[in-house]
Each structure stands twice: as C-alpha cells, then as structure tokens.
Amino acid sequence: MACKWKGIIPPVVTLFDEKRGFDWEANDFLADYLIQQGVHGLLYMGSTGEFSSLTSEERKVFAERMVRYVDGRVPVLIGTGSTSLKETIYLSQHAESIGASGVLVVNPFYWKYTDRQLYDYYTSVAKSIRIPLLIYNIPLLTGQDLSPDLVLRLAVEHENIAGIKDTTEKLGHIRQLIRIKEQREDFAVFAAFDDLLLPSLQMGAAGAINGTAVFLPELSVQLFESFHAQQYEETLKANESILKLMAIYELSQPLYIAIKEAVHQLILGRHTALRPPVKECDELEDRIRIFLNKNNIQSYREARNRLVFPKNRK
C-alpha cells in the first residue's frame, strides 16, 4: 500500500506483430516514450489495451513482460477484471506476484448484479491480494453504473481498495465519488474522459486515466502539473488543446483503433498489426492524418526524435 495513486496514467494500447503475437519492440518503445514524457504511471490490459480479446495466459505473459521492462520507473497498474470471479482473482494474484503496483478491476459484465452481489465480488478480490485495487466503472461497456454508495462502502471497509477510474460523462457522479475522501482521505478518483480532467481536478480528483494521454501524454501531464503549480494560464491552454482531441473517439469503432493509429503516426513511425475481428483500414490512416494536421499536432513529432526507433520500420 506504499504507492499513492495520482497524476496522468495512460491506458496503454497493446501492440501486435504480423503473426498477431505481441510486438515487444513496439511495446517497449511506447513505454519508454510515455515515461520520458512525464506520465505518473502506466495502465496495461485496460479496455484500450484490448484485454477482452486476449486469453488469460496472454494477459499474464504481457503483464509480466511489461512490468519487468518498466522496472519500477513508474507505477504499473494491470487490468485483471473478468466476468469470472475465479479468473479475476487468479489474474490479480498473478499481477501481485510479478510486482505490479496495483490492479484495475472492472465489475463483471454481461449480467446486471445487485449492489450486494457487486460488494461481495470486489470484497473477494480485495481479500485475495495485498496490493492496491482500483475499481473500474465503465457503464458504457458493462451496462451497469456503480453507485457512489457501493463504492463508499467498499472504500471504507477495505484498505487496499485504493481508488476508482470513473469512465462516465456525468460530472456529478465523479463529484459524489470525490466526496468519499471525506471518510477516506487517501481514496483516489480518476476521470477517464479527457474533457473532464480539468473540472475533476478542480473538485479534488487524483488525476486521469485518459485515452489521449496514450498518443499525446505531454498535454495531460502539462495540464496536471500546471494546475497543481497554480499556473492557471498554462492549465487553460493545455485544456483547450485537449478538448480539440476529443473528436478522435468518433473516428473509429472500437475507439482504441484510432488511438493506435495516432500512436503509429506520432510515436512509432510505423504500423503494427491489428488482431481480428479488427482489420487494417487505409481510410482510418488518412482520417487520423487529417485529424492530426487539422489540430497542428505534427509538431509533436519532434519529441519522438529524442528516441531512435529501430530502422526496420514497416
């Protein structure tokens, strides 16, 4: 429980090679780049990381390899949620055994459960590990919104339930979660939608686990750091730039494909493979290029030149 969660934690995409295995070279490079840009942690195997398209063994292999590669430079969260409680506990215990800083656990999806059933679910996972557990609320994909009362009870009764990623557009819901700090001072609430980062910080949020931080981490880090330094002119400037990036989520379905393409163009300088049922799309490549040019983001490519990606680009 030594790690106190705060700041900008990108929900990192998972990069694949032509055989649909893991492209370790690309995944390592992206980790180095994000850390160099000042992020405060990394989340692997979240929704953007395509955990739902991987087997349990693949999730374990990837988590272990990336925790080892990051090597304590920043805290690493591992998404371990599943529809199966047994599998969630299994993956959470594995994350603890490999040295992960904490786990992010989405509520079981497909069926809707009562608050009592969800309480028992999270209690069972929390009791099975000693490292911090962050609750993951994403009603858009689970079909169920976790109530502030449920989260409060979990936070008060379980020390290692350390926070929540609240993927909701309802600022009022985030505000209610932040009020949990009145009874649990160290409880960390993270926004997920980029346009809610600033208003969430103003209400006392710990930071954000937001998609645009995967391909332009500098902006979110700048907003977070300048806000806490009370440099509000810089804060508003960064926020204005971030707001313009929200349109990227409308360019693909699922939305992580557009984020990957931005990573390809801005950071890697080459393409990695997509895992079925998702397929490559030339039109998306063009749409992202137009989007980046429209928002004058090409200048950020200079930052990637501080690292030299291997020359065997595709």
Tokens of 299: 């200048």
What is the average pLDDT score of the chain?
Answer: 93
Look at residue 271 and tell me if it is in a domain: no
Look at residue 176 and tell me if it is in a domain: yes
Q: Which of 78-87, 113-122, 200-209, 276-285 has the lowest mean pLDDT?
A: 276-285
pLDDT band (50, 70, 90) for residue 151: very high
Residue 296 confidence (pLDDT): 82
pLDDT tens, residue by residue, 96-113: 999 999 999 999 999 999
Q: What are the contacts of 110-113 at 24+ separation with CB within 8 A?
A: 110/83, 112/143, 112/144, 113/144
pLDDT at 80 over 80: yes
Look at residue 240 and tell me if it is in a domain: no
Helix (H) or strand (E) holding 228: helix 217-228
Look at residue 32 and tell me if it is in a domain: yes
Rounded Cα–Cα distance for residues 298 and 301 (Å): 6
Peptide bond into 310 cis (omega under 30): no
Instruction: Kindly list the distances between the CA atom of residue 92 and the CA atoms of 3, 88, 127, 150, 197, in Å, as whole numbers in the listed order.
Output: 17, 6, 11, 21, 28
> pTM for the complete prediction?
0.93
Look at residue 236 and tell me if it is in a domain: no
pLDDT tens, residue by residue, 182-206: 999 999 999 999 999 999 999 999 9
Tokens of 201: 């910080």
Rounded Cα–Cα distance for residues 304 and 289 (Å): 17
Residue 170 confidence (pLDDT): 92
Which of 271, 268, 272 lies closest to 309 in space, CA to CA? 268
Q: Which residue range forms the structural domain that includes residue 141?
A: 7-220
Handedness of CA 246, 252, 257, 263 (dihedral sign): negative
For residue 78, give the 3-state DSSP assignment.
strand
Catalytic residues: 47, 110, 136, 165
Look at residue 28 and tell me if it is in a domain: yes
Amino acid identity of residue 33, one-letter, is Y
Residue 250 C-alpha from the chain's centroid:
18
Look at residue 49 and tell me if it is in a domain: yes
Residue 280 confidence (pLDDT): 72
pLDDT at 37 over 80: yes
Count of structural domains within the chain:
1
pLDDT at 314 over 50: no
Rounded Cα–Cα distance for residues 103 and 82 (Å): 12
Look at residue 201 and tell me if it is in a domain: yes
CATH number for the domain including 17?
Answer: 3.20.20.70
Tokens of 189: 């609430």
pLDDT band (50, 70, 90) for residue 304: very low
Number of Cβ atoms within 10 Å of the Cβ of 153 = 17
pLDDT tens, residue by residue, 227-280: 999 999 999 999 999 999 999 999 999 999 999 999 999 999 999 999 888 877
* Across 6-34, average pLDDT: 97
